[in-house]
Amino acid sequence: ARKFNFSAGPAALPEAVLAQAQEELLDWHGNGLSIMEMSHRSDEFVSVASQAEQDLRDLLSIPDNYKVLFLQGGATSQFSFLPLNLLGDRNSADYINTGVWSKKAIAEAQRYCQVNIAATTESERFFCAPEQAQLQLDPNAAYVHYTSNETIGGVEFDYIPQTGDVPLVVDMSSNILSSALDVSKFGVIYAGAQKNIGPAGLTVVIIRDDLLGKAQAMTPTMMNYAVHAKADSMNNTPPTFGWYLAGLVFQWLKQQGGVEAMAQTNARKASKLYAAIDSSDFYANPVALRNRSRMNVPFTLADAALDSVFLEESKAAGLLNLEGHRSVGGMRASIYNAVPEAAVDALVQFMAEFERRHG
């Protein structure tokens, strides 16, 4: 039987999607072969790929002047795609530092250009995001980068930064598709698939088309957004299975009522879990209320010596992957779109019982 999976990524996928993929695995739509065994240029695969793109466009109301790319390399490779493609004739970019993932993006960008830290919450131990008024933006920067949800710290922006004419770039790996989004506010949105989109190995990039075609001369062909845009993400063999499965997830999201409906469920799931943490002295979460992530909920036990017992007993209760990131310890429950509300209910109940026995 499937258990409740709170993994931060690769993360839970909707059971209905996995069941459909299983049903289609050996013989996709009566073609006598698997989708994985088909040419990416076949009519069949091209129709799967373009339907997936259309469904994503529908879900996020992506305007026509944006290209959607289905790439490989993970969100981490985007950390170098960005300066290589977006600097143009500028030599600096603004970065907002809110934790582990912003820092990694910053470190990579520093190999290519001057990085201005427009704001950092490091002195607040990354327990919050900066407010708009705290951003020190350079009007000559090539772009402004931020991480809308810090997967490890559990810190989520509660607003979209305003950056004037400077394109806004966002790492949305861990909260894309969790609520409605005004794509027109962004120059580039990128996300590794393995949290809210599909299996690992696929990276989705949504890019405004006026930002294409400015890559540095040294940019590797496979890291040039314009090359991928022109080739409909088929300059080489794309990650076909991941693309197909993402398409199934997009259809599932539409069946659930789209991102607006997901946002309501996600808000309910998160508030149940934070309420359980806040109502007890046994559990704690340090993040500022306005920036508490709806996707990744880190929490500590009053006595860290009980961590391993908590993990053992929760696993035995069918609640998997609650261990915090190795860099911070404690616990973390990732409650992405595909994690059902029943999983959160079961976790909340387990936490209360655990406190009763060990508190």
Q: Which positions are annotated as active-site residues? A: 101, 171, 195
Of the candidates 224, 212, 155, the one whose C-alpha atom is nearest the C-alpha of residue 187 is 212
Closest CB to ligand PLP among residues 130, 192: 192
Q: Tell me the C-alpha distance between 297 and 154, whole Å.
A: 6
In the structure encoding, which two tokens stand for residue 306, read together? 């009980």
In the structure encoding, which two tokens stand for residue 213, read together? 């075609």
Distances (CA, A) of 102 to 56, 130, 171, 201: 25, 13, 8, 21
Q: Is 41 among the annotated ligand-binding positions?
A: yes
Nearest approach in angstroms of CB 71 to ligand PLP is: 11
Nearest approach in angstroms of CB 51 to ligand PLP is: 24
Q: Tell me the C-alpha distance between 128 and 144, whole Å.
A: 19
Q: Tell me the C-alpha distance between 81 and 76, whole Å.
A: 9
Angle at which helices 240-255 and 43-60 pack, to 10 degrees?
A: 40
Binders in 164-183 for ligand PLP, by CB under 6 A? 171, 173-174
Q: Is 76 among the annotated ligand-binding positions?
A: yes
Q: Which of 167, 192, 199, 247 binds ligand PLP (CB under 6 A)?
A: 192
Q: Cα 24 from chain centroid? A: 27
Nearest approach in angstroms of CB 134 to ligand PLP is: 21
Q: Is 237 among the annotated ligand-binding positions?
A: yes
Cβ burial of 334 (10 Å; 0-12, 13-18, 19+) is buried
Closest CB to ligand PLP among residues 199, 330: 199
Contact 101, 129 (CB under 8 A): no
Q: Is 101 among the annotated ligand-binding positions?
A: yes
Q: Is 147 among the annotated ligand-binding positions?
A: no
Q: Is 8 among the annotated ligand-binding positions?
A: no
E-strand ranges in the chain read 4-5, 66-71, 92-97, 114-120, 144-147, 149-150, 155-156, 168-171, 188-192, 203-208, 283-284, 296-301, 319-320, 331-334
Binders in 74-93 for ligand PLP, by CB under 6 A? 74-76
Nearest approach in angstroms of CB 352 to ligand PLP is: 29
Nearest approach in angstroms of CB 312 to ligand PLP is: 25
Q: How many CB atoms lie within 10 A of CB 154?
A: 30
Number of residues that bind ligand PLP (CB under 6 A): 11
Q: Binding mask 36-75 vs ligand PLP (x if CB under 6 A, - otherwise)?
A: --------------------------------------xx
Q: Which of 5, 6, 7, 9 binds ligand PLP (CB under 6 A)?
A: 9
Binders in 95-134 for ligand PLP, by CB under 6 A? 101
Q: What angle do CA 138, 144, 146 make, to 5 degrees?
A: 135
Binders in 130-159 for ligand PLP, by CB under 6 A? 147, 151
Distances (CA, A) of 142 to 82, 90, 109, 113, 330: 10, 6, 12, 10, 38
Q: Is 265 among the annotated ligand-binding positions?
A: no
Nearest approach in angstroms of CB 288 to ligand PLP is: 18
199 binds ligand PLP (CB under 6 A): no
Residue ranges at the known binding site for pyridoxal 5'-phosphate: 75-76, 101, 151, 171, 194, 236-237
Chain residues binding ligand PLP by CB under 6 A are: 9, 74-76, 101, 147, 151, 171, 173-174, 192
Residue ranges at the known binding site for L-glutamate: 41
Residue ranges at the known binding site: 41, 75-76, 101, 151, 171, 194, 236-237
